[in-house]
Chain A
């Protein structure tokens, strides 16, 4: 392997670095305050935050809006009203703000409900990814040596996999009821899709966590905990984990849009969630057949999807800059890390989008 620098160097600098580079340093402000001040100075990030808030509100209020405002349910069919005799959906009008999809259903309502599905899958997937990635990362970084090598090589292999093809295979194999043997995660449904996404994406997070842990484990407070006889498990849980929460949150924010896009790609290729569960990817997948005659089917779900992923990326970008303005510069200093980011990113294209982890640092 190419070894560049020592493994003990952090991949992204730890949170305590933040106060070093501020020009107009004001004594008495906590790092947290500085962090938020810096974050809110980033107008893009603030806009992103607002967009996320709106999308989440729409998702939460979807049943209320569909029932009391537009009076159409997500699975109600308005076939004769909203399709032509050739079955071509009709466009936006006063009752159907976004027009109808090819089943004669209210696209506006389905887009609202789609927000729920896309967000839920992204959160499930991200949650699972966090559990796997953080655990693997902490163990690799803390124990170093052979354990680290094994975990790192394994994640290298996962990053070399033709992710999209395998995900498709897994989704279509386990998407047939009663699902694959091996527990509820392999039964058809939202969890399966989330699990598949997490299964192929965790190395991005584990790598970041590992870097953080490698540097933290050398710090005085870890040393002192060890001197006081704390067990390894305790040190990892009580000393290390709390100190990497901030970077985990930042990178998680950047993983969410990637996962949303992953779900959309799977749905586009026909192995996502069933039709009765509206999702943006699904609506867009339908749109591929119809967009020539029904542009609204492509436009509205697409715009919502794009707005959401863009917003998460803007916020994530802003959070990272606020956490450590030099992260961008730092993150590319270590060559072997860069190499893997690449893989991450190039892989992203194959699965439909670049994985937004450190690419735009």
Chain B
């Protein structure tokens, strides 16, 4: 177990290194525009250009530049996203502060969507598994295929069109500046004022959930069908347990174990920023921040969000692997 953890951690570091290096190469080595240009205005004097280049650290050699950013990846106070290099070229605000401010929005989107997709995906999967080949099952299949086939941004726009512009029951995009994330989640909006349901996150949740639930429903179905064929289920049935109990107590428990790991990783990915969903619904989360960074050639912003996202993913990977061993005694660490 100890050796395993060390190996995993080393691999995690390698992943972070590669992610940061690739981000650096793409956004610093191959930029489409000069980040200084925006800051110096028109017809700048060479003095100003040199001064801004220096301030942005662009006058140093590429390896030195990379290293100064790479240091910011070390999760130690003082180094972690340090303000010396992790500040926005646009307005000199620390990336760390912005991430802190935006993370709750992304987290609210992720958590709500996760709850919703579990509530949608798992029951559909169970029904499909119990009644294979029926209308339920076929509809479940179609739903799943719809979920993987529909473009996220299109689904979001269609939902907006129907519920906001047409029926007028949902709020539009964005979160009013004076509203906290919690208010945005829970507070109902006119004309219905139903808490949560007409909150500002409902449509984004549905959008993410529909495209994700598909996968969960199919996985639940497959696993449950497979599990129901196992010997111990036959034993349970033979013992005379009701079908409900067999499925609920023995079947589901084993069938849903793999979902836990999947869930962890999905959540981690979304925490790194659901770029498109945040963009469609104007949610000021990490994804929007990264997008803004890309559009404005604001490299430290892109690097900051990318790295934080990668961090969530590798941590989730580790947690999931360890947790999996706890849930499934058949797994051994080697």
Contacts and interface: CB of A to CB of B under 8 A. Distances in A.
A44 interface: yes
A18 interface: no
B151 A305 contact: yes
B223 A332 contact: yes
Contacts of A343: 265, 269, 313
Contacts of A169: 23, 26-27, 30, 294, 302
B161 A298 contact: yes
Interface in A307-361: 309-310, 312-314, 317, 328-329, 331-333, 335, 338-339, 341-343, 345-356, 359-361
A292 B26 contact: no
A180 B26 CA distance: 10
A312 B148 CA distance: 11
Interface string A167-200: 0111011111000100000000000000000000
Contact of A180 (B7, B30, B142, B268): B30
Contact of A173 (B30, B211, B332, B334): B30
Interface in B118-158: 138, 141-142, 144-154, 157-158
Contact of A354 (B31, B158, B215): B215
Contacts of A164: 275-276
B218 interface: yes
A354 B212 contact: yes
A122 B131 CA distance: 36
Contact of B148 (A4, A269, A354): A354
A302 B158 contact: yes
B275 A353 contact: no
Contacts of A291: 157, 161
B11 interface: yes
B212 A335 contact: no
Q: On chain A, which size bracket covers the interface?
A: 35 or more
Given A314-B145, A338-B258, A360-B144, A162 B276 contact: no
Interface stretch (B12-20, B186-194, B195-203, B245-253): B12-20
B148 A298 contact: no
Interface string B259-287: 00110011011101111100110000000
A264 B276 CA distance: 11
Interface stretch (A25-33, A88-96, A153-161, A231-239): A153-161
B1 to A, nearest CB: 12
B324 A166 contact: no
Contact of A346 (B266, B275, B291): B266
A265 interface: yes
A288 B294 contact: no
Contact of A349 (B157, B274, B310, B328): B274
A139 B324 CA distance: 30
Given A160-B313, A173-B30, A349-B266, A359 B214 contact: yes
A143 interface: no
B275 A333 contact: no
A12 interface: no
B333 interface: yes
A354 B23 contact: no
A69 interface: no
B261 A329 contact: no
Contacts of A1: 4, 7-8, 334
A60 interface: no
Contact of A359 (B148, B150, B268, B324): B148
A162 B157 contact: no
B157 to A, nearest CB: 6
Contacts of B295: 270
Contacts of B4: 1
A250 B144 CA distance: 18
B142 A302 contact: no
A302 B280 CA distance: 15
A261 B145 contact: no
A255 to B, nearest CB: 12
A302 B154 CA distance: 7
A36 interface: no
A166 B23 contact: yes
Interface string A23-66: 00000000000000000000010000000000000000000000
Given A268-B276, A269-B279, A361 B222 contact: yes
B39 to A, nearest CB: 19
A153 B15 CA distance: 9
Given A160-B15, A288-B157, A349 B211 contact: yes
Contact of B152 (A2, A153, A353): A353
A261 B318 CA distance: 30
A233 B322 CA distance: 39
B155 to A, nearest CB: 9
A349 B269 contact: yes
A356 B144 CA distance: 10
Contacts of B8: 1
Given A310-B145, A346-B266, A332 B219 contact: yes
A165 B275 contact: yes
A346 B302 contact: no
B94 to A, nearest CB: 20
Interface of A: 1-4, 44, 153, 156-157, 160-162, 164-166, 168-170, 172-176, 180, 257, 261, 264-265, 268-270, 281, 284, 287-288, 291-292, 295, 298, 302, 305-306, 309-310, 312-314, 317, 328-329, 331-333, 335, 338-339, 341-343, 345-356, 359-361
Given A281-B151, A353-B150, 11 more contacts: A160-B317, A162-B306, A257-B149, A269-B275, A288-B157, A306-B149, A328-B222, A333-B226, A352-B153, A359-B144, A359-B218
11 contacts: A153-B14, A160-B19, A165-B290, A174-B30, A269-B279, A288-B280, A302-B157, A328-B218, A331-B222, A335-B261, A354-B147
Task: For the complex of A and B, list the 3 residue pairs with the smallest distance between their C-beta atoms, beginning with the closest.
Answer: A346-B269, A309-B149, A360-B218
